[in-house]
Structure 1
Amino acid sequence: MTTRPIVDLMELSPDFLRDPYPVYAKLRAEGPVHRVRIPRGQEAWLIVGHEACRAAFTDSRFSRDWVRSGNVNNMFHVDPEQPALAHMLMSDPPVHTRLRRLVTKEFTPSRTEAMAPRIQQISDELLDEMTADGRRQADLISAFAFPLPMTVICELLGVPELDRLAFRGWSNEIVGPTTPEAEAAAYDELSVYLGELITAKRAEPGEDLLSGMIHTVDAGGDRLSPKELIGMSMLLLVAGHETTVNMIGNGVRALFAHPEQFAALKSDPSLLDGAIEEMLRYDGPVENGTIRFALEDVEIGGVTIPAGDSVLISMADADRDPARFKNPERFDIRRDARGHVAFGHGLHYCLGAPLARLEGRIAIRGLLERCPDLSPGLADDAELPWMPGMLIRGVKELPVRW
């Protein structure tokens, strides 16, 4: 068994928030597993490298069932019985298998594909509003990257338009808490809201996904419980927009930093699908998978992770590993980026990946067509404010000009 000193990632902020890749690469060169102190102050084991990360994603010795394990309060400042925690990302088989089966009966590929015209319409309307600004400048996040997926996921779930602004505050606290009190309040307020919405839709169902999940019954008569409906709705709302917001923001930043790639994409729209995959690989919206814990002692690369300890899988580093991707630090929209783990791997692979890709294609294509002269609004990228924490990777604001 190899013992290494704890790497205090808290001491590296804000440089680490802005560019964590050199730190991960240095750790990867030393081995696949490292003891770290994360921005929340807790200690965890960080797994780096593409091969080790993919293996960890499918290792049943790493559990996601934080509630049953008693680990919730190690990572969240919320009641372990909080309904918003009753979702797939916090469960293992067979519970996870059951939840995913019930949700996928309604959240189908055909439902996603059918949304394409509406997503295009939302994108067009947002770009109409943004480009109407005579100053020819805007914050791309608040003007476009945030409202596009938020409108889409709220319409998909049937959330009334007047309630949607509240979700940004709740979501920001859930993925990047500012204080323990604010985190707990966000979970409580969102749970209460969703419970009331579910009650209303149970009485008067619509054509939306949430109404479908409420009334879905499988062949054996099983259905989602009220608590599970709140948890799954929370997961779909938060994950259903945070991923796309930051895929758009990080993707545009990558194009700005690589003008030759930006020019190539503008001149050849057929490169768009590959460009989206490269954006996901190069600087994906999720930096590290949500925390797992070891059910037993697990040895990886000569390092033993003790039973009960918390584990982070670095998706960001996995997709910058030269053992998997040649010249990984290079952003190349012609690269075959398939095999990246930006949406995870294994049984917890992101259910909404097809929707996120669809939104990303429509968003980037719209920006290229409507704002071909899009450029950074700040002279120095270092001035951009970043989302806190190690889960979501993205900027809070992205000033642009056109």
Structure 2
Amino acid sequence: MYDFAIVGGGIVGLATAMALCQRYPQAKLLLLEKESQWAFHQTGNNSGVIHSGIYYRPGSFKAKFCHDGCRSMVAFCREHGIAHEVCGKVIVATQANELLQLDNLFQRGLANGLQIAKISAEEVKEIEPHVQCLAGIRVFSTGIVSYRQVCQKYAEIVRDRGGELLLNTKVEKITPTSDGQILETDRGTFSTRLLINCGGLQSDRLAKLGNVDPQAQIVPFRGEYYELKPEKRDLVKTLIYPVPNPNFPFLGVHFTKMIDGSVHAGPNAVLSLKREGYKKTDFDLKDMAEIFSYPGFWKLAAKHANEGIQEIIRSFSKAAFVRSLQQLIPAVQADDLVPTHAGVRAQALQPNGQLVDDFLIVKGQHSVHVCNAPSPAATSSLEIGKAIAAEVNLMLS
């Protein structure tokens, strides 16, 4: 029997494994991942941003874990020689009605203990010469990295500490017992004293398999990106974000310099008709049925109908997508952009139509379930792992 079994080989699962191996060096640990490689879904398809934590409600898990995680992620990359850059970013107001929200965001950043500065349009141009705006915020601690490389190092450390890692192993049944959990997979059966579910896009289903109410349902949103052609990359020096709409749960299309030198533009946010669907044509009948039969989805759709329609238009109209980008950089033209890979965000949605806006960790008997860990989970992964290890310690004491 294993002491700990973790399901999910994304960045949160791997960070949790690493934290448990460090805290319990004599424990027998197993990590199961259904795909053929680590960080296959959310982690491996995100923008690679080391977030500062400016957007998140002061006192929330997201605010604390992201603030601390930004520092610990940079320190981890330095320690292990992983390519990264603390390049900073600017958040800009392009319309007069955004100036109040920009100031509110600045105050939130101060409340979250960040090193930030209010800057004028002229000062923004000193950082990003092609941006047109009225004012901005400079966020000094934001960085970029390849989270796939980070995950490879996490996995290496877990192996070195004696953890057992299995790819191509899908959990199909979970049976709670008096002293633990039995996991039936397509590669055999495993027993564990404690199960930690870090299943991302499948986390709510895994919780239900273990007779635990996840308190929400995962609804997948696909983020679609374009990439600037190499000869146009000089339009962007760092990262450029708009002031987010406070009534909409996504940050809006923005420009992100990647650690490989490329520049991505996006994402929009559209409902995915398949939990692991990265193309517009992807759909899954089971996934669709779950979404459309869930009362919370229709309440969310009604609340954000106008914004949702605009996201759908941007998904199918490159011209509309480009117009959104031109609000930040007027010089960007459609011919400057080519499509690139999409990502899918596992967003937990409550039955009342409210998006779960913080990390959600649900405890069961002999189990811990991470049921909402979208962005900034990658930035926060070391801190989430340590928090779960501390929670496990309380459960075992």
Query: Is TM (by shorter chain) over 0.5?
Result: no
Category of TM-score, reference length = shorter chain: under 0.3
Q: Per residue, is there more strand in 1 or in 2?
A: 2
User: How high is the TM-score relative to the length of structure 1?
Assistant: 0.24
Q: TM-score, normalised by structure 2?
A: 0.24
Instruction: Return the structure number with greater helix share.
Output: 1
